[in-house]
Chain A
Amino acid sequence: MFSDFKFAWRTLAKTPGFTAAAVTVLALGIGANTAVFSLVHAMLFAPPSYTQPAQIVQVYSQDTKNPKSYRGFSYPTYQDIRGKNSVFTAAMAFNLAMVGVGEKDNTRRVFATIASSNYFSVLGVLPAQGRSFLPEEETPDRNTPVVIVSHSFWKKHGSDPAFLGSQLTVNGRLYTVVGIMPEGFTGTMNLFSCEVWLPLGVYNQVADNFASDNRNALGDRTGTQLLVIGRLKPGLTPATAEPAMKTLAANLEQQFPVEQKNQTFQLAHLSRFGTSDAPHADDEGEMAMLGTLLLGMAGVVLLVACLNLANMLLARGTARRKEIAVRLALGASRWRILRQLLSEGFLLSLMGGAVGFIAALWSADLLVASLGRHMPIDMVFQGGPQPVLFAATFGFCVFGTIAFGLLPALKLSRGDVLADLKEHAGEDTGRRRWRWLPRYPLVVAQIALSLALLTAATLFIRGAGKAAMVDTGLKTERDFILEVDATLGGRTEAQSRILYSTLESRLTVLPGVQSASIASTVPFGMITLDRRVQRAGRRPGPDEKPATAAEGLAFNAYYNSVGADYFRTVGLPLLRGRDFTAVEATSEKAPAVAIIDEALAKKLWPEGNALGQRIQFAKANAPVAKGGGTKGVSMSSDDAGAVKTDDTIEIIGIAPVVRTDLFQKENGSAIYFPFAQGFQGNVFFHVKFASLAPAQEAAAAEQIRRTVREVDATLPILSLRTFAQHLDANVDLWLVRAGAALFSVFGGLALGLAVVGVYGVKAYAVARRTREIGIRMALGAEPSAVLWMILREAALMLTSGIVLGLLLALATGKLVSGLLYEVGALDPVAFTVAPLVLAAAAFLACYLPARRATKISPVMALRTE
């Protein structure tokens, strides 16, 4: 075997051009697969960062009357579970929050986990430096200002050895860093991680106020703030442990018949990506589908690369027929020849795999870094060489060798010794059995597969193009968006209201500013809010099934609390009615009024005018019509701002429909409240300038920044950018673009490989048929006849590939249709452009060798004997 590799090495070294081309082709194919595998492995298969994951389960509190309804746990309930369960060695509680962390002069918003003291010990991972939280630090309202940070957070701060024990500003308050987690620890999720962990004792200080669940104090048994995770005792599974937990739930319901009414407990392993109070099997299904799709695309690229190489080997092998014939004549067995040829293939694969492996590590890191820049949460991707990646790359090499090497090896080792020793090397000595079929079926397959990928890429590019041109419905060309959160600096709601009001006034009178307005959310922002509304005066019970708004059916609506000048500032003139007055926008005591959009108006009063009518917030368990709203945070209707569920609200205006996020299934259904009646800590100020040329943007931003500092030097600016930049940074848009970029890379690779394959085959065909072309020219074939002959054969090959490819593209389009953004699976543009691009590139690849054929000197050609 060693001698086979030695000879293989010598053979490949003798033809450095072929070897370099083959290694490049394989490096592209194997590299793409290794890169995708490393991502898919991290997403779907890599073990979690906590120990013995089979023992870790989440406890879900399910409503027995409404089994689709789940909720979190109060701290007292968690204590009961921890103390009274018989199935866990330990149980911990936590929840997520967004906090403002002071870094130099700025405040950065980061995800934090607010955790019980045993969080780390239950997960089986202790801080690499420092300590975990102490039991007393989790006591509600104990407020011990301690923080544990992630490894990447520590790294972002220069991996300073003195960081442990230093002070960190969290929401305007100094916290002592008591621990640094080990590298790669991502808490309860995979791939995504919080950057800081805080003890439950500070919960009431740092929990966000946009979700209603956080409004109860932690110690209140009616709260539902916490998620509970337990480590099962050895030998138990979620299924075997669940009955005991149901018994515990029943006991708790008996003990606390109001707080625990209709609540039972379920156990399930943790979701890899989400943190939720309800089991989310769908997330993993979607990720699995995405992973499969990515692997499938990369697999097709590898297949195209292998087909390409198989062709190259067949071409090269034809020239080696005499050599093989001599070996067979000297007594070599067929297996011996096969082994020799496969050794050459495997050596090529290993070389291609080595280059591809390096390229894969680099490209995977690049992709994750690109995604990381758009994600609000830290991505922890364990890049670099890992045994599993080595194994995968080796697997791709073996697959590659078999895919591209076996067929040529079998064909060559079956040679006719006598004929091969006598005939002109490489020439046809007989008629092909199926002459009407294209001469090179492997190239046809390559073209077909490449076209399928290229069409998919074009579909995604079309989607990205449409996403980039998305019409929000707003006129925000001259708008800046300033995002601040006064509560992160430790201010009370009352202090924050005054601060925001002052800031809005100051921004409005800035030189060059036309208008400015506060808003609790911004379309295409990271967070959107939903509320359920219904006509005033009718509250159907949860068991009723109202079919119409008149019967009390509630509707989901995008919710935004805004300033008096909001609609003018965002360029959304009302269709009917009036804007909020300054008093309504700033006074909590003003009568409850709202502006709804046209879509919601038609849903609520399909038969008439909604203006002047009254609505109310629906209760949490009210029957709600399908659709509407956003994918953002849903606020239950027992709370949120000055307007209560029992209040009725007058509709004073009807606004045009706007788009609030990229993947919104239907535009519209929005309700706007005066900011005073819907206070949020995290707010946005829209600032519209009279003119805003690109060259003026920096000065305008500085003007706004200076104004914020003048109003309150300690107010953290979370972001300040133009509306166009805000849209550009949208995570959904990134996903659409990344999909397009990924498919473009794969489509481009496949196109490149197919073109190289077509060129190689035609160039080889011309070289192989030099003597034949010479004969034809000697017999009077004009150069144009030779050109036509080569191109006619190429046209048959291309047409067959494209027809087959279009069929594959149809199937691929259907497969990826769910991931496309506003583009049909059979988009005529994609199905026209992709074949044209492929045909043009492939035709050019054919034309060059065909033209070379016309330059063949018949005298020289006839001497090639």
Chain B
Amino acid sequence: MSDSLIKLEGVTKVFLTDEVETHALSGIHMDIKKGEYVSIAGPSGCGKSTLLSILGLLDSPTEGSYILNDRPVQGLSLPERARIRNREIGFIFQSFNLIGDLTVYENVELPLTYRGMPAAERKAAATEALEKVGMGHRAKHLPSQLSGGQQQRVAVARALAGKPAVLLADEPTGNLDSKNGDSVMQLLAELHKGGATIVMVTHDTRFARHADRTIHIFDGRVVQEQVEQAH
């Protein structure tokens, strides 16, 4: 068993639109170790979100291989991919993506229900995750009753609740003001210190510096890898 959590080899993603081929990703090689905090940076349209979708098993590569936790996952069926997403991956989206008519607690509990976890365990896990992000007191609120920063904290709690192997964050501060953005970045840093593996897409170099390593992507290729200085 290796210490590599995510391993991409020659991953290519081609979109076909009106018979026009768009190469979103071209021959991506990437190796992310357990407990690592990696930031993926690059200008808008460079392919970072596509890469994150492939990492999160929301999308499949056109070519290449993807090994997650020592298991090849690029050719799995839809239900198998859903099961892995549920157990191994936690998502944090730019626009929070909380479900509007579920309470904070129900939003956090939601991925655990898909796992078939008993209610008592779900309650414990969801409460713990909410406490961890400092939102335990807002459990019965609806997302619309929270500020943007608070909603993103809830989204982080939801990603954490199932104790996934990796947290994938897509521009987690994109919809937040700088104060709330800093606060969320602080939260991710604390989670990393606690042992979480985090892969974060961002175009903000300030936040990229929070990571151990930054992978720069341009036109669908990895153009530079930069190890951040200890912070």
B85 within 8 A of A: yes
Asked whether B78 lies within 8 Å of A430 as measured between CB atoms, the reply is no
A646 within 8 A of B: no
Chain A: minimal CB distance from B16 (Å): 14
B58 within 8 A of A: yes
A780–B80 CA distance with the chains assembled, in angstroms: 10
Residues of A close to B102: CB separation below 8 A: 431
Instruction: Please tell me which one of the listed residues A429, A785, A857 contacts residue B114 in the complex, with CB atoms under 8 A apart.
Output: A785
Asked whether A775 lies within 8 Å of B95 as measured between CB atoms, the reply is no
B99 within 8 A of A: yes
A859 within 8 A of B: yes
Chain B: minimal CB distance from A657 (Å): 68
B105 within 8 A of A: no
Asked whether B115 lies within 8 Å of A862 as measured between CB atoms, the reply is no
B86 within 8 A of A: yes
Asked whether A779 lies within 8 Å of B101 as measured between CB atoms, the reply is no
A500–B85 CA distance with the chains assembled, in angstroms: 94
A14 within 8 A of B: no
A857–B56 CA distance with the chains assembled, in angstroms: 13
A771 within 8 A of B: yes
A763-788, CB < 8 A from B: 771-772, 775-785
B28 within 8 A of A: no
Chain B: minimal CB distance from A378 (Å): 65
Which of A775, A778, A857 lies at the interface centre, i.e. has the most chain B CB atoms within 10 A of its CB?
A: A778
A776–B97 CA distance with the chains assembled, in angstroms: 10
Asked whether B142 lies within 8 Å of A778 as measured between CB atoms, the reply is no
Residues of A close to B87: CB separation below 8 A: 780
B59 within 8 A of A: yes
B93 within 8 A of A: yes
A732–B58 CA distance with the chains assembled, in angstroms: 67
A776–B87 CA distance with the chains assembled, in angstroms: 14
Asked whether B101 lies within 8 Å of A783 as measured between CB atoms, the reply is no
Question: Interface residue count for A (Cβ, 8 Å)?
Answer: 24
A783–B56 CA distance with the chains assembled, in angstroms: 17
B73-104 vs A, CB cutoff 8 Å, 1 = contact: the mask equals 00000110011011100010101011111110
The residue on A at minimum CB distance from B99 is: A772
Asked whether A777 lies within 8 Å of B53 as measured between CB atoms, the reply is no
Asked whether A430 lies within 8 Å of B85 as measured between CB atoms, the reply is no
Chain B: minimal CB distance from A823 (Å): 46
A546 within 8 A of B: no
Chain B: minimal CB distance from A114 (Å): 78
A431–B82 CA distance with the chains assembled, in angstroms: 27
Residues of B close to A783: CB separation below 8 A: 78-79, 82
- Number of A-B residue pairs at CB separation under 8 A: 71
The residue on A at minimum CB distance from B103 is: A431
A776–B58 CA distance with the chains assembled, in angstroms: 12
The residue on B at minimum CB distance from A781 is: B114
A427-463, CB < 8 A from B: 427-432
Asked whether B82 lies within 8 Å of A777 as measured between CB atoms, the reply is yes
Asked whether B144 lies within 8 Å of A430 as measured between CB atoms, the reply is yes
The residue on B at minimum CB distance from A435 is: B101
Chain A: minimal CB distance from B61 (Å): 13
Chain B: minimal CB distance from A771 (Å): 7
Asked whether B114 lies within 8 Å of A779 as measured between CB atoms, the reply is yes
Chain A: minimal CB distance from B177 (Å): 16
Asked whether B53 lies within 8 Å of A429 as measured between CB atoms, the reply is no
A772–B142 CA distance with the chains assembled, in angstroms: 15
Chain A: minimal CB distance from B49 (Å): 9
B48-69, CB < 8 A from A: 53, 56, 58-59
Chain A: minimal CB distance from B44 (Å): 14
Asked whether A430 lies within 8 Å of B110 as measured between CB atoms, the reply is no
Asked whether B58 lies within 8 Å of A779 as measured between CB atoms, the reply is no
A772–B96 CA distance with the chains assembled, in angstroms: 12
A859–B168 CA distance with the chains assembled, in angstroms: 14
Asked whether B99 lies within 8 Å of A775 as measured between CB atoms, the reply is yes
A850-862 vs B, CB cutoff 8 Å, 1 = contact: the mask equals 0000000111001
Chain A: minimal CB distance from B15 (Å): 11
A543 within 8 A of B: no
Asked whether A780 lies within 8 Å of B111 as measured between CB atoms, the reply is yes
B158 within 8 A of A: yes
A865 within 8 A of B: yes
The residue on B at minimum CB distance from A783 is: B78
The residue on B at minimum CB distance from A432 is: B101
Given the known inter-chain contacts A429-B100, A771-B97, please indicate yes or no for A782 contacting B59, CB distance below 8 A.
Answer: no
Residues of B close to A777: CB separation below 8 A: 58, 82, 85
Asked whether B91 lies within 8 Å of A779 as measured between CB atoms, the reply is yes
Asked whether A859 lies within 8 Å of B58 as measured between CB atoms, the reply is yes
Asked whether A782 lies within 8 Å of B110 as measured between CB atoms, the reply is no
Asked whether B99 lies within 8 Å of A430 as measured between CB atoms, the reply is no
Given the known inter-chain contacts A859-B53, A859-B58, please indicate yes or no for A779 contacting B100, CB distance below 8 A.
Answer: no
Residues of A close to B86: CB separation below 8 A: 779-781
Asked whether A780 lies within 8 Å of B97 as measured between CB atoms, the reply is no
Asked whether A431 lies within 8 Å of B101 as measured between CB atoms, the reply is yes
Residues of A close to B83: CB separation below 8 A: 780, 782
Residues of A close to B56: CB separation below 8 A: 778
A430–B56 CA distance with the chains assembled, in angstroms: 29
A865–B86 CA distance with the chains assembled, in angstroms: 23
B98-125, CB < 8 A from A: 98-103, 110-111, 114-115
Asked whether A428 lies within 8 Å of B158 as measured between CB atoms, the reply is no
Asked whether B85 lies within 8 Å of A862 as measured between CB atoms, the reply is no
A408-421 vs B, CB cutoff 8 Å, 1 = contact: the mask equals 00000000000000
The residue on A at minimum CB distance from B91 is: A778
The residue on B at minimum CB distance from A778 is: B91
Chain A: minimal CB distance from B204 (Å): 19
Instruction: Please tell me which one of the listed residues B59, B100, B114 contacts residue A780 in the complex, with CB atoms under 8 A apart.
Output: B114
The residue on A at minimum CB distance from B84 is: A780
Asked whether A775 lies within 8 Å of B85 as measured between CB atoms, the reply is no
Given the known inter-chain contacts A430-B142, A781-B82, please indicate yes or no for A776 contacting B110, CB distance below 8 A.
Answer: yes
Given the known inter-chain contacts A776-B110, A778-B58, A779-B114, please indicate yes or no for A428 contacting B101, CB distance below 8 A.
Answer: yes
Instruction: Please tell me which one of the listed residues B53, B82, B101 contacts residue A782 in the complex, with CB atoms under 8 A apart.
Output: B82
Which of A428, A429, A780 lies at the interface centre, i.e. has the most chain B CB atoms within 10 A of its CB?
A: A780
Asked whether A429 lies within 8 Å of B144 as measured between CB atoms, the reply is yes
A431–B158 CA distance with the chains assembled, in angstroms: 19
A775–B115 CA distance with the chains assembled, in angstroms: 15
B129-177, CB < 8 A from A: 142, 144, 158, 162
Chain B: minimal CB distance from A430 (Å): 6
A202-259, CB < 8 A from B: none
The residue on B at minimum CB distance from A772 is: B99
Chain A: minimal CB distance from B166 (Å): 14
Asked whether A779 lies within 8 Å of B144 as measured between CB atoms, the reply is no
Given the known inter-chain contacts A778-B58, A779-B85, A780-B85, please indicate yes or no for A427 contacting B114, CB distance below 8 A.
Answer: no
A781–B102 CA distance with the chains assembled, in angstroms: 16
Asked whether B100 lies within 8 Å of A428 as measured between CB atoms, the reply is yes
Chain B: minimal CB distance from A132 (Å): 79
Residues of B close to A429: CB separation below 8 A: 100-101, 144
A429–B95 CA distance with the chains assembled, in angstroms: 14
Chain B: minimal CB distance from A440 (Å): 15
The residue on A at minimum CB distance from B52 is: A859
The residue on A at minimum CB distance from B97 is: A775
A589-609 vs B, CB cutoff 8 Å, 1 = contact: the mask equals 000000000000000000000
Interface residue ranges, B against A (CB under 8 Å): 53, 56, 58-59, 78-79, 82-83, 85-87, 91, 93, 95, 97-103, 110-111, 114-115, 142, 144, 158, 162
- Excluding A772-B99, A782-B79, A858-B58, 9 further A-B contacts by CB distance (< 8 Å) are A428-B100, A428-B101, A431-B142, A771-B97, A778-B91, A779-B85, A780-B82, A780-B85, A780-B115
| Subset of 23 A-B contacts with CB under 8 Å | A431-B101, A772-B99, A772-B100, A775-B97, A775-B98, A775-B99, A777-B58, A777-B82, A778-B56, A778-B91, A778-B97, A780-B83, A780-B85, A780-B86, A780-B114, A781-B82, A782-B79, A782-B82, A782-B114, A783-B78, A784-B79, A858-B58, A862-B97
Interface residue ranges, A against B (CB under 8 Å): 427-432, 771-772, 775-785, 857-859, 862, 865
Q: Which 7 A-B pairs have the closest CB atoms?
A: A780-B86, A428-B101, A779-B111, A782-B82, A780-B114, A428-B100, A780-B85
